[in-house]
Amino acid sequence: MDTINQVFALFRLNFHNQFYSAYADTDLLNQVKRLWLDALAHFDRDQILLGAKRVIETSDYLPTLNRMLQCCEAFQNPAGLPSPQSAYLEACNAPSPKIAHRWSHPVVYHAGLATGWYLLIHEAEAVSYPLFLDHYRRLCRELGKGRQLPLPNPTGEATEKPPLSREASRQRLAELKADLKLNE
């Protein structure tokens, strides 16, 4: 709570008029602080303060909780981890089989897998990105806590079958038709 109080003190100094306009009521300010405390609880003190500093340096307006989360995440993620938007684009554009793709980081693969490859490819970004972002953020937090996210072994998993030739497709179709006639 002390860290959240420090953040709001910094916001009060840097966004003076906006701050007093938005939080004129002490009860409202306390409710907002509790909301921020719950949302930022998985970050440590330094990440929250660095995130607040970045918000102050890059924003002309009093930040939203979402903006603060983004700034804190920038200090949470280890080096080499792509931004959520870059990770989303990589997951959407990765060729099949997904397991054979050369991923920029294992967390991108696991976030895509948790979201669902079909959904990433076939749904609009407005639908699929928020779902991917939730999984990506969760996995990044787990990664920050020491969880290992290995990539699956491509040789140990079933690989996609190559498409049948035209003649093999016709033969397979004839077999299916014959099976259907026998079952009638």
Per residue in 112-153, pLDDT (tens digit) is 999 999 999 999 999 999 999 999 988 887 877 778 888 877
The pTM assigned to this predicted structure is 0.58
Q: Please state the separation of Cα 46 from the chain's center in Å.
A: 22
Provide the H-helix boundaries in 94-124: 106-115, 117-122
Residue-averaged pLDDT of the chain: 87
CA distances from 69 to 97, 133, 182 (A): 33, 12, 62
